[in-house]
């Protein structure tokens, strides 16, 4: 495995004729992920392997870790959790009341308002999905990615799930107008032996609720979660006893709003680091031998709950103070 595209010294070369020019203005240090792998001759980095591309990272969950996480969350009063489905009769489906504040919801919507475009199903425009999307990530919506309230929300997600922040994809902010929908589908689309591994969980936050309709329906479970502004919905995409196998019972669909707008923030959480490989020029086609992975994180790993027991107004005040 070559990881980040590092070549043996005998193959050392630049992949772009502009590499020498870029190196001359300091890009080897300013943009090391790309330059040291693609401009190895000019940067003097022959054979270099980007550590973000090597796959030597800990798994977020061990076998059995999905059940353990949900069971722990259900017992935490500050999460205000409601269990809609649970083993042995079905997969976990859980909601958290008042997970984010109105100001936090506004931060997602306001910072992405100028970036919405037709949502994709996979990587293509499809008639099965008619909503609009905006990505809360560097280069697409820097204001969203850097917003202190949004970072605060992500800390909260890490605390609930025990999945490190870098394992999350970037927030996909969604806008549904009346009649818009996303037909039945499943969220797990990543190979277990890829750099980032499978999508373990979907963490779905309702930012604003429509005046009617707009629920999240799980057809195989006969469950529909009605959108409530500020609440969050969490479910697994893989099986508790086999983290490499998709749990197809969590097929779901976004029902169309009947009146008013629905805004939501979608976050997919992976077994391994997602953001590192996707922001450091890694070859995402690389596969990783399980023996090369680091040991999994401890079953009870989690970050500190921001600000102690969660209080939305207190969280807002602290985040705003940090931003000043």
Global pTM reads: 0.82
Per-residue pLDDT reduced to its tens digit, 157-176:
999 999 999 999 999 999 99
CATH 2.60.120.620 fits 65-323, yes or no: yes
DSSP 102: H
* DSSP symbols for 36-74: HHHBHHHHT-TT---GGGS---B-S--TTHHHHHHHHHH
Predicted local confidence at residue 300, as pLDDT: 66
Q: Please state the domain extents for the chain.
A: 9-49, 65-323
- Residue indicated by tokens 């936050």: 205
User: Does the pLDDT of residue 62 top 60, yes or no?
Assistant: yes
Q: Which of left, alpha, beta for 91 (phi over 0: left; psi -120 to 50: alpha)? A: beta
Q: What is the pLDDT of residue 22?
A: 93
As a whole number of angstroms, the distance between CA 262 and CA 153 comes to: 19
Q: What is the pLDDT of residues 104-133, one digit of tens each?
A: 999 999 999 999 998 877 777 778 888 999
Q: How far apart are alpha carbons 57 and 260 in whole angstroms?
A: 44
Q: Is 204 helix (H, G, I), strand (E, B) or coil?
A: strand
Edge-to-edge strand ranges of the sheet holding 252-254:
182-185, 252-254, 216-218, 223-225
């Amino acid at each position: 495995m070559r990881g980040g595209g590092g070549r043996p010294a005998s193959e050392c070369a630049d992949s772009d004729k502009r590499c020498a020019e870029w190196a001359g203005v300091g890009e080897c240090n300013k943009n090391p992920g790309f330059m040291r792998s693609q401009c190895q001759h000019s940067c003097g980095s022959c054979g270099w392997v980007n550590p973000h591309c090597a796959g030597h990272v800990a798994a977020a969950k061990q076998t059995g870790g999905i059940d353990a996480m949900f069971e722990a969350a259900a017992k935490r009063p500050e999460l205000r959790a409601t269990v809609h489905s649970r083993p042995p009769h079905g997969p976990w489906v859980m909601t958290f009341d008042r997970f984010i504040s109105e100001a936090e919801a506004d931060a997602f919507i306001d910072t992405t308002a100028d970036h919405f475009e037709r949502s994709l199903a996979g990587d293509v425009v499809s008639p099965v999905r008619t909503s609009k999307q905006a990505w809360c990530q560097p280069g697409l919506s820097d204001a969203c990615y850097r917003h202190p309230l949004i970072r605060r929300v992500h800390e909260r997600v890490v605390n609930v799930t025990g999945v490190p922040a870098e394992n999350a994809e970037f927030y996909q902010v969604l806008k549904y107008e009346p009649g818009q929908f996303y037909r039945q589908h499943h969220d797990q689309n990543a190979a277990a032996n890829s750099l980032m591994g499978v999508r373990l969980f979907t963490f779905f936050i309702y930012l604003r609720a429509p005046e009617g309709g707009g629920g999240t329906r799980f057809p195989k479970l006969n469950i529909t979660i009605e959108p409530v502004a500020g609440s969050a919905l969490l479910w697994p995409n893989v099986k508790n006893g086999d983290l490499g196998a998709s749990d197809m019972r969590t097929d779901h669909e976004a029902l169309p709003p009947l009146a008013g707008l629905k805004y939501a923030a979608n976050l997919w959480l992976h077994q391994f680091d997602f953001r590192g490989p996707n922001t450091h020029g890694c070859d995402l086609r690389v596969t990783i031998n399980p023996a090369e992975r680091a040991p999994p994180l401890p079953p009870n790993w989690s970050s500190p709950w921001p600000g102690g027991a969660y209080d939305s107004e207190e969280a807002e005040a602290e985040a705003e103070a940090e931003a000043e």
